[in-house]
Amino acid sequence: MMSRSISSKKLIVLIMMIFTVPFTGFLLVYNFYTVNMLNNRIAETNQSRVEFNRFYLEENLHNVENFMANLVANDRSYGRLRYELTPLDAHLNTFSILEKFKDFLPTQKTAAALFIYTPKNELYRKVFQGDISSDEREEVDHYLRKLVITETDLGQRGWFTQQVGAKNYLFRILGGNGVFTIFMLDLSQATTPGNSSKQDSSNDIFLYSTTQGEALTSKKVVGDAGIVLKGNSDAYYISGKAERYFIVQSYSENAGINLVYAMRYHNFLGAMNPLSLSLLIASIVFIILLFVCFRLLKRNFFTPLSELVSTIERIRNGNIEAKISPVGRIEEFEQVSEAFNAMMDQIKRLKIVAYEQKLEAHRAKLEYLQIQIRPHFFLNILKNLYGLAEAESYKRIQKMILVLSDYLRFMIQEHAVTIPLSVELRNVETYVLLQQMSLSVPINCTIDVDTALNELQIPPLTILTFVENAVKHATVPHTTLKIHIKVRLLQNEDGEYINITILDNGPGFSDEALSWLNGGSDIQTAAQHVGIANVRRRFALIYENKKMFYFDRSNGSCVEIFIPYRNDIVGTEQLR
């Protein structure tokens, strides 16, 4: 069963993840735990501060309630106001109460006003403290007069908030039977013990809110910061837009409002101990380095590898001109790119060479077929047969036809790349016999071959071509044409070579022909020596640059062929 393959990119990422994911997970969990512990510590500190403020506020409210309750229960002037009095008596009693108000108000920094209302005697007296405008005073007075007239059981209502003008105030009403004492607390002036303002030097925010999450103080600051308050929340939370705020709050059951402390959430690193801070920085650096490492891998490994695969894919689709562009700075990829591009150039050159060799093989085969046909030779044979028939030399005709049939059988049927030397020489003998039977002057052909070389593989028509050339060009009237064929095995330091020599006693090659033949000009020799050009071309295809032809003129023509002694060449392969 074959295993599934995986890309190198996925494998490298997988290996990186095996090491980095657990470590990154540990760092993230540890940092989350550290930040959570830090937040809890900050929350505990701030919550303690809020609880202290709540205790301080409720203590003040309790003192106010005690003062008001003592006034309602024990003050004689307050008791008389429950009845209808003369205007003078009513005025004197309310004046006495106002004096007590004036003595009590300075002891309460958050107190804004005290009211004594007796609708029965039509007296509405009040004492204000702090920076309250006349319009706000009139609006408060109007609101409270309407409230004591229209509402019932005001004493059971407890502390409640009411917006008057642009501010929210905390009210407490005690009394009944037509007499009410009212305390008004300015929430915007409510301070924490030891501070002169509701915000410390770091611009953190201390404010009050309703149980529906509506800010009662510092509305503009809360709105500008984009802080969303929660009505009921015992846990800390973080809110804000441009700047984040760490928020804790505590609900005052006595006042019915939330005390909220919002601290700017940007200095939490300063509260971390050195070890936690070092690990947090190390975690951030590690994650950054992880991304940097992946970027480097992508630029210097994944991208060149993808380029290599893409180039191979384009080549597979037929675009052999595709090249790998230099990408990255990895030395091995540069070497692969150079080697691959050089290999493709070599493949293109080899492809061109192979194509040219294929054309050469086709041309050699055509010329080979052309040699096999040789119409003039066969016409001469037919004329000789006709002459013998006229002379009624029937036995010579029969013998000549048998020899001709053997020759034609070899020429027509033999298409192998190579044939045994013995077969080639037998065909030469058949050809010479035909010529002896056709020509008036006989041919003397001698063959000197080592019998151990009879099975030597050579291209067909190798020797026959040069013998035919000798018969055609070396025959001199009234002179016997002598042809000598010699085949020898030579040995030297370069290896074993076969030497094939064909000699004749004719006039020899002309100077121009020798220049062409020894110069290797196939184009020029092909015009007059088709057979020789074909032999040389087929030898070049088979033996490449390991063959050699030498042409000479010494008492006739001399042709010497040198080829390597190769036992691996067999004669079954066809010319393609």
pLDDT score at 270: 56
What are the tokens at 260? 């909220």
pLDDT tens string for the chain (576 positions)?
A: 455 666 666 767 777 777 677 777 777 777 777 777 878 888 888 889 999 988 988 898 999 989 988 988 888 888 888 888 888 888 888 888 889 888 888 888 888 899 998 888 888 889 998 888 888 889 999 998 888 888 887 878 889 998 888 888 999 998 878 889 999 998 887 755 544 344 444 578 889 999 898 999 888 888 888 889 988 878 888 888 888 888 999 999 888 899 999 988 765 555 566 766 677 777 778 778 877 887 777 777 777 777 777 787 887 787 777 777 766 667 776 777 777 778 877 887 877 777 777 777 666 665 555 554 466 667 777 877 777 788 777 788 888 888 888 877 777 665 677 889 999 999 899 888 888 887 655 788 999 998 889 999 988 888 988 998 888 887 777 788 899 999 999 988 878 999 999 999 888 888 888 888 887 655 444 455 677 888 888 888 788 788 889 999 888 899 999 999 875 554 444 444
pLDDT score at 576: 41
DSSP symbols for 290-302: HHHHHHHHIIIII
Let me know if residue 232 belongs to a domain: no
**Together in a domain, 420 and 527:** yes
DSSP symbols for 332-368: HHHHHHHHHHHHHHHHHHHHHHHHHHHHHHHHHHHHH
**Together in a domain, 439 and 338:** no
Neighbours of 408 (CB within 10 A): 14
Cβ neighbourhood burial of 180 (10 Å; 0-12, 13-18, 19+): buried
Range of the domain at 343: 316-350
3-state secondary structure of 559: strand
Least Cα distance to 90 among 148, 98, 103, 173 occurs for 98
**Together in a domain, 333 and 420:** no
At 517-551, the pLDDT tens digits run 887 655 444 455 677 888 888 888 788 788 889 99
Let me know if residue 85 belongs to a domain: yes
**Together in a domain, 343 and 420:** no
Residue 451 phi/psi, 5° resolution? -60, -25
List the end-to-end C-alpha distance of the chain, in Å, as a whole number: 42
Let me know if residue 289 belongs to a domain: no
Quote the CA–CA distance of 520 and 507 in Å, as a whole number.
Answer: 22
**Together in a domain, 342 and 470:** no
Residue 446 phi/psi, 5° resolution? -115, 145
Quote the CA–CA distance of 554 and 453 in Å, as a whole number.
Answer: 27
Let me know if residue 16 belongs to a domain: no
Domain-ending residue, one of 171, 189, 207 = 189
The alpha carbon dihedral of 340, 346, 349, 352 has a sign of: negative
Domain-ending residue, one of 154, 189, 224 = 189
Q: Say what angle helices 303-316 and 8-74 make with each other, to 10 degrees.
A: 130
DSSP symbols for 168-204: EEEEEEEEETTEEEEEEEEGGG---TT-SSSS-TT--
Q: Are 571 and 420 in contact (CB under 8 A)?
A: yes
Quote the CA–CA distance of 326 and 334 in Å, as a whole number.
Answer: 7
Residues in the chain, how many? 576
**Together in a domain, 335 and 444:** no
Number of domains in the chain: 3
Question: What CATH number is associated with residue 95?
Answer: 3.40.1840.10
pLDDT score at 528: 59
What are the tokens at 103? 């003595």
pTM of this structure: 0.48
Residue 560 phi/psi, 5° resolution? -125, 135
**Together in a domain, 336 and 442:** no
pLDDT score at 555: 84
Quote the CA–CA distance of 555 and 463 in Å, as a whole number.
Answer: 20
**Together in a domain, 332 and 423:** no
pLDDT score at 449: 93
Q: How far is CA 316 from the centre of its chain?
A: 22
Q: How far is CA 72 from CA 35, 65, 150, 425, in A?
A: 54, 10, 21, 152
**Together in a domain, 443 and 346:** no
Quote the CA–CA distance of 505 and 526 in Å, as a whole number.
Answer: 24
Residue 455 phi/psi, 5° resolution? -90, 10
Let me know if residue 400 belongs to a domain: no
Long-range CB pairs of 61-70 (<8 Å, 24+ gap) are 61/159, 61/172, 61/185, 61/254, 61/255, 62/254, 63/108, 64/108, 64/111, 64/172, 64/183, 64/185, 65/172, 65/174, 67/104, 68/172, 68/174, 68/181, 68/183, 69/174
Let me know if residue 372 belongs to a domain: no
pLDDT score at 196: 39
Q: Which one-letter DSSP state was computed for residue 574?
A: B
At 237-256, the pLDDT tens digits run 888 888 888 899 999 988 88
Q: How far is CA 189 from CA 58, 192, 201, 218, 263, in A?
A: 15, 10, 17, 11, 19
Pairing of strands 167-176, 179-186: antiparallel
Identity of residue 104? F
**Together in a domain, 333 and 464:** no
**Together in a domain, 432 and 504:** yes
Domain-ending residue, one of 154, 169, 189 = 189
> Quick one: which H or E segment has residue 237?
strand 237-239
Let me know if residue 277 belongs to a domain: no
Cβ within 8 Å of residue 11, ≥6 positions away = none
Question: What CATH number is associated with residue 425?
Answer: 3.30.565.10
Helix boundaries (H) for 105-253: 134-150, 219-225
- The residues that bridge with 420 in the sheet, in sequence order, are 457
Q: Which one-letter DSSP state was computed for residue 122?
A: T
Least Cα distance to 143 among 120, 109, 167 occurs for 167
Residue 564 phi/psi, 5° resolution? -70, 150
**Together in a domain, 461 and 342:** no
Let me know if residue 139 belongs to a domain: yes
548-573 burial, b at 16+ Cβ within 10 Å, e below that, comes to: ebebeeeebbbbebbbeeeeebebee
